[in-house]
Structure 1
Amino acid sequence: MDNPPAPAIFRHMAFDSDILIVGGGLNGPTLALALAQAGHSVTMIDAVPLGSRKSPGFDGRCYAMALTSTRLLEAVGIWETLEPDAQPMLDIKVTDGRAGEGPSPFFMHFDHAEIEEGPMGYMVEDRHLRPALLSASDAHENIQTLHGETVVSQSAEAGSVSVTLASGRVLTGRLLVGCDGRGSGTAMRAGIKRTGWDYGQTALVCAVEHALPHHGVAHQFFMPPGPLAILPLTGNRSSIVWSETAENAALINEMPDEAYIDVLKPRFGSFLGDITRVGTRYTYPLSLSLANTLVAPRVVLVGDAAHGVHPIAGQGLNAGVRDIAALAEVVTDAKRRGEDIGAEGVLSRYQEWRRFDNTTLALATDTFNRLFSNDNPVLRAVRDIGMGIVGNMPALRRSFIREAAGLTGDLPKLLKGQRL
């Protein structure tokens, strides 16, 4: 017996947009551009007023973008604008030790020359990335952005999903995407629960100017309280992501700049000469937060709304970009086949594509943090020997380099630089 036709109300329903996106940070507009270029109409709901999103001055916020993430930015048309101000990451050096004592003799050195694709990634400053995304999304005819609006309720029906805004306006679409961070209201309203724990660590984030050139080398120095990442920026500047116990971080953050830098210096070392802080100082608590499912009826989660991981490998934003590439490809292929893009079967393809990768990343960063953020002599010997082994095995080194560049696994088209 043939399936009955869809009720007329669904066959002729007028939607505000094909896809509603909640969240206007970085993942929201990136996803909107990827979807809009593939022919979907998109409404993005951003709780932050437009004026607050525009920050032309340098404030120290920067992102380590894997090579594949920059390919997606190129595919959606903004990398050409960003590349002149982006700093290539040519090498990564990983060491272990204590503040003021210098690194262990065992280390890992990953050189981009060991792969054919080029730099492992680029450091991109927020003051360049965010305006480029906002300008491109505001200019695209398939994207409508509502700034300063918040969602207060949502409802999934047989053929549609709707959201009610604080202003009273109601929007309808075929699919609702949560790009609204770890405390995702979209996930909570959909009944999606989370698994995770607090690390008892806080990241101190800033940028420094130094006397000597960094030569495009990123450093990860593991210390008992937590790792210190020194990430190269254009010129003689570096971005600092410095993890400490929550108690120590609170004390350090209250210090004036001069004292703050005095505490950082023995951790940073003298290999880049004298350092001074530039931009603004930030802190954020570190925790693991995984959504128990990436999908619900007519709802899907992307980026931190789906998975919040330790910044130990700098992969948080890159994992979100992978989500974006996979979701855009899944719903675009479904639309071209004449499928309902919000149907359970379509969303399950996205979940199957991304769930294992996201869980693996969370477990890997959690394990690395627990293994390295301590002063246990047995564990310290194990990790130092392990770093020495990896550092002396070319095949294993290359696999780590390809992982850092985002080149492993089943890559969506956008991460290969191909448009949908």
Structure 2
Amino acid sequence: MHDVVVVGGGPVGLYAALELRRAGLDVVALERRTARSGHSRAIGIHPPALAALKAGDVAGALESRGVRITEGIARSAGRQVASLSFAGLPGEHGYVLAVPQAVTEEVLEDRLAGRYPGTLRRGTTVTGLAERDDRVEVHAVAPGGADIFEARCVIGADGARSAVRDYAGIGAPGRSYPDCYLMGDFPDGTGDGDSAVLYLEAAGIVESFPLPGGVRRWVVRLGAPAEPDPHLLSRLIGQRTNVAVDPAGNTMVSSFEVRSRLAERLVAGRVLLVGDAAHEISPIGGQGMNLGWLDVQALVPLVTAHLREGTDVGQQLARFNRTRRRAAGVARRKAHLNMALGRPLPPRVLAARNAALAHLLSRPAVSSGIARAFTMQ
């Protein structure tokens, strides 16, 4: 009998397992993948999440392998429209930390394995849940065959297509958007240093973010899905921004469509949801992984108080459900605005919109508010 079974070994599940083990609980984390993925979709770690990771003694290792983005720049037709500094943000983190997701998972997994060996069980696929009076049975197929893990509660951190959510009978209405994106990583020859750059162009937005090792991530808004192709991505970047990137230097390319999903509840008996299992948010704005870590930060003290001290946390879990669903709703609205900002516009409309944006960001109070919103504060 374990205290907690965490289902999912991505960045949110690994962080949940690590924090629960640090709290003194008996935890096992089940992950169907036999090895970490080298694909890195999520790269931005926002200040509130950095504070949470610092409390868990993880932030330092990530800081040493990341790039601090201290400024955002908007350009259009070769000219600067506006800039946004993060230096005045409250707290000690006046930046967004850019770290490839593969590195983030590596750091978390190494920390978990070093301090609490045997917690993560790879190659284990959950096939069902059965909730009893005092426990949950997690049915799974492990490398040695069928197995059953018993726990006093289960945390689903198994992504947007969560099996835990489905097995617990929790609905999660979704919505699809007409926005598609092509993204990839290339050697950085822009000279933009540690600045994030948004190219607001008539054909659609192009985004550019620094990564460690002299690499820059590029994201291009498309009108229809496209196969991941570094040559196509390089050509689109050049057409819209006049910036040349070498497709031969590409190290990652991916395409994605945009969906959002919000679970009807995050608490169902002894089953709890965090991360994308609870709320799938558009990757535009990079909020999903950060939201998941903040879910864990709010949830771990409640689980610990109940399992170690027998505290009745029913009201606190109800509040957790309300506040984290509300936070996901706010993030989803921000994603809507970010996507709207990146859609194609007629040149005259684009010029007028950019002028209005420049005027707004020239006002310190507005600029400060947008910087806080952009960094999830």
Q: TM-score, normalised by structure 2?
A: 0.88
Query: Which residue pairs with 2:86 in the alignment?
Result: 112
Indicate conservation of the 8 Å contact 1:120/1:404, yes or no: no
CA deviation digits over 1:257-285, x for unaligned, max 9?
44541222223433xx6545431211222
Whether 1:195 aligns to 2:203 is no
- The range that moved more, 372-381 or 224-233, is 372-381
Q: Secondary structure at the match of 2:334?
A: helix
Distance of aligned partners of 1:60 and 1:233 in 2 relative to their CA distance in 1, 3 Å threshold:
same
Indicate conservation of the 8 Å contact 1:111/1:401, yes or no: yes
- The range that moved more, 202-211 or 178-187, is 202-211
Distance 1:312 1:222 in 2: 15
Q: How many pairs were matched up?
A: 372
* 1:289-368 aligned within 5 A: 289-335=261-307, 338-339=310-311, 344-368=314-338
Indicate conservation of the 8 Å contact 2:184/2:233, yes or no: no
Distance 1:265 1:88 in 2: 26
Whether 1:141 aligns to 2:116 is yes
Query: Which residue pairs with 2:53 in the alignment?
Result: 73
The partner residue of 2:29 within 44, 49, 53 is: 44
Indicate conservation of the 8 Å contact 1:91/1:110, yes or no: yes
Query: Which residue pairs with 1:395 in the alignment?
Result: 365
Distance 2:22 2:117 in 1: 8
Report the alpha carbon displacement of residue 318 of structure 1 after superposing the two structures with TM. 1.2
Distance 2:155 2:202 in 1: 39
Whether 1:27 aligns to 2:12 is yes
Query: Which residue pairs with 2:128 in the alignment?
Result: 153
Indicate conservation of the 8 Å contact 2:179/2:221, yes or no: yes
Query: Which residue pairs with 2:189 in the alignment?
Result: 211
Letter in 1 for 2:343: S
Report the alpha carbon displacement of residue 378 of structure 1 after superposing the two structures with TM. 9.0
Distance 1:154 1:287 in 2: 27
Distance of aligned partners of 1:380 and 1:211 in 2 relative to their CA distance in 1, 3 Å threshold:
closer
Q: Secondary structure at the match of 2:10?
A: coil
Structure 1 stretches of 5 or more lacking a match? 1-14, 409-420
- The range that moved more, 115-124 or 329-338, is 329-338
Whether 1:279 aligns to 2:251 is yes
Report the alpha carbon displacement of residue 54 of structure 1 after superposing the two structures with TM. 6.6
Q: Secondary structure at the match of 1:211?
A: coil
Whether 1:92 aligns to 2:87 is no
Report the alpha carbon displacement of residue 20 of structure 1 after superposing the two structures with TM. 0.9
Query: Which residue pairs with 1:233 in the alignment?
Result: 211
Whether 1:53 aligns to 2:59 is no
Q: Secondary structure at the match of 2:251?
A: strand
Indicate conservation of the 8 Å contact 1:211/1:275, yes or no: no
Indicate conservation of the 8 Å contact 1:154/1:162, yes or no: yes
Distance 1:390 1:143 in 2: 53
- The range that moved more, 17-26 or 160-169, is 160-169
Query: Which residue pairs with 2:97 in the alignment?
Result: 122
Distance 1:333 1:388 in 2: 49
Letter in 1 for 2:36: R
Distance 2:24 2:219 in 1: 38
Query: Which residue pairs with 1:186 in the alignment?
Result: 164
Indicate conservation of the 8 Å contact 2:128/2:138, yes or no: yes
The partner residue of 1:261 within 230, 234, 254 is: 234
Letter in 2 for 1:202: C
Report the alpha carbon displacement of residue 182 of structure 1 after superposing the two structures with TM. 0.8
Indicate conservation of the 8 Å contact 1:219/1:230, yes or no: yes
Indicate conservation of the 8 Å contact 2:66/2:98, yes or no: yes
Two-structure CA RMSD over aligned residues (Å): 2.7
Distance 2:344 2:245 in 1: 28
What percent of counterpart residues are identical? Answer: 24
Report the alpha carbon displacement of residue 230 of structure 1 after superposing the two structures with TM. 0.7
Distance of aligned partners of 1:235 and 1:53 in 2 relative to their CA distance in 1, 3 Å threshold:
closer
Give the number of the structure whose alpha-carbon radius of gyration is greater: 1
Indicate conservation of the 8 Å contact 1:90/1:216, yes or no: yes
Q: Secondary structure at the match of 1:53?
A: coil
- The range that moved more, 325-334 or 81-90, is 325-334
Distance 1:294 1:62 in 2: 23
Distance of aligned partners of 1:291 and 1:379 in 2 relative to their CA distance in 1, 3 Å threshold:
farther
Query: Which residue pairs with 1:4 in the alignment?
Result: none
Distance of aligned partners of 1:280 and 1:371 in 2 relative to their CA distance in 1, 3 Å threshold:
closer
* 1:164-183 aligned within 5 A: 164-166=139-141, 167-183=145-161
Report the alpha carbon displacement of residue 314 of structure 1 after superposing the two structures with TM. 1.7
